[in-house]
Structure 1
């Protein structure tokens, strides 16, 4: 029988702390490049002798002189055993410790099991342990980084994000869609880890939401116990895993792919989408039947009535199992309105590209952008109020093929990878379809690829080069020539021997061979020293051409 593993999904964030009361999670060893100062943190780990399910962690800090104070926020599994140079900060939400000393120490007891939750947080065996060591820091008085060094008294170990592995481990790495993924495997059971990798690879092929899912994991043998808890993910994988193991793993992966943050009134959307796609992925991977999938995502009016809040403008009427039911129906509705070319995944893709917090208006705008028309009426009826949408019969949730929803000749996959807007045939509005820009090598997100103030579509029509600001090489950019009525395709528009740029400098007409009409070509006048803009350069009453004995 193959052994099971747990998956802990992590996002490793860099740590740069500046000013007063700016917090960031730990887990990154920062080299301090470009910084004038750094707080040094030395972590010493030891599996507490004679006490299972606990790890002893000593934190030693060296503060630079320009740091006025340093505060550490500890996870709830942690108990402070001893403190040197630190004082506890009164805080109803976090266990915070503050120091102003140059050298300070905290000795912590980190519990691997938390009885305040239904299940244990992390896991251990005789040979290894996995502990939550995700801390947050506040620095006062300086812009700085935190440099972290980890030491292990009882054999080997490693830190991945906010999770520490103590004891023997191995590593597994792989690549999906051009991104590198890495996993640490306590106990070295890489065969079981490969099963988790395979499931994630299959999920990646089906999920196209534009989010960057976690790329660093800890795969833990399931005999150590542990489940999904707080913001750290654990899920069993393997033949002897629980019935919901794969579902939990997929939820973690999908949830990690949703990078947008929601405002008040939209907090239902994130978990509903994650749950919808965890079941959808299982269905498409053959692990969940049509009937089971439908039962998993739908709810009844009676259930909604039990939890229904009073709907307001700011708080959509979503409760109980309704959010999951609504996102399933929304997926079906979008597919129906777009002939199957667009799905809920596209809405998530749009929201993942938004830097600011997503409120209801942003959500409605994203749905409209994907559907190609306003769906405010549908959303108002089913999201803001108590009405329940119907789920269609049949397999409405099949992943769409890699099509071309906007009909511009470029696949949605290519456009979503950053080439152009997958919902608009001419992304930059320059008059050229994105496919044409793809063929020409111009930028479909910039209406003037060469910066000559002449739109790419206009250049295509005029015959100029949209990738060269000065097509004919005469020193004048293409739009300047069009605006000045010279030919951007000819260095010497009128063929008088002077380039268009020279004529611009001299003040002659680049479209007239004899600007002043005195019978002499402009270039000839320069040879004889006459003025090509004055027919009688010396003012003697005789045009220059006659003076020189040249007749027109």
Structure 2
């Protein structure tokens, strides 16, 4: 893969010629097949894709008369798909972009890159843009998600208006923001000042991650207060300059605090960056100090001597109130700043973090919890309960023993303890197996409350299965829980239908129980069914048929033979 740079000179040509606007073209071949990005290296070509940093070309000329102008542009070779600015991505890709405060932010996602959180990344970059004290121009920025499969010595790399982030460094957005901030720095560092460019970028990347809820305050402070490389003298750094990222971040954070304290929180380190951006050029520690003094409104000579030119390590406050944002960023536009949402425990990127139908702003002041879709855990989302009739902070609004959601599903009224007015609260009805929406679940004529407190089963119309509904037996004379009240072998219902007395075992007093008479075919309500003058019991004992008249002789003969 290759790229071309073109230059045009207007005015006196660079070499003697007749061309009014001469062009110089330089072709740069990116090494094919390399799969390693060494430290401070921005370009690599794997064969199937490549990233390429703008190759510096230097042009010198002499002229007489009006000063010539020189325009530069970079193009990819014909047939190559590429996108970017000072760093190009060459290969198949998709782009996702937003315009924030006049700046296009373009996220380049190669076809082979996996696990790129597009929305979260763009949100993080947008937040960083909004938090800059003075936006350094509207030049577009290109953020490239580097595919896996390439060994990288750094988590990311920025050059001019573009940067890439390695595949294993995209987790919480801090590397994206760190490299983005480099694209917004309009000054150049050397070994003595790299602590400021890297340390401030690290500090802001972690601070903004805390503001935006991508890491906790404890995680932010742990990154800021590391003792790693504590003995390094920042102004005397040399390659590989690791102390710029560790102690440099701590000193940058401490300078931020020093300025906040001196200005009662009105200014911060970002104002120092804005001043240095306005001047551009090469950084020196004296320039950094003078800019910080102008922002803080006092001398910082001793402070820089101690922490930049010396090996001392500054202390940092442990309370979140010391790190309040100077710019209110509200990513989701719900009226709560990102930091307010972070402290609430909600998601600054969603207006309704718990997806309960109530916006975070409405829940922020209570009574419901904006982190829980169902604050009272009753089975109904807060949004369903917020406007009544149930209480979203009380699981059982009517106190009947059933959660509001359970009542909604069952059809009972969650605002009335006894929905059907049968004297039994809805919760006890569920426990008893009765229907809380019907006063008489088994339709036996007895209210459920009466049956629950009594001997009968409120879910069975005929508790004892004798053919008589419970309400027919409750007032007597039969027992609704005993199928055969008099124990004569006939159920109470059968006796009622047959005309016998269900409370007397021998209704007709003939010596035969009603059940026995049914088996013989005799009438349990008539002592002498066949009217032959012999009681049914005597005929049964003699062996004669109590349903057919028997003569006197026949009776005694049958009786005599029955006794032999």
Specify the TM-score bucket, using the shorter chain as the normaliser: 0.3 to 0.5
Output the TM-score relative to the length of structure 2.
0.45
Which has the bigger relative contact order, CA under 8 A and spacing at least 6? 1
Larger C-alpha radius of gyration, 1 or 2?
2
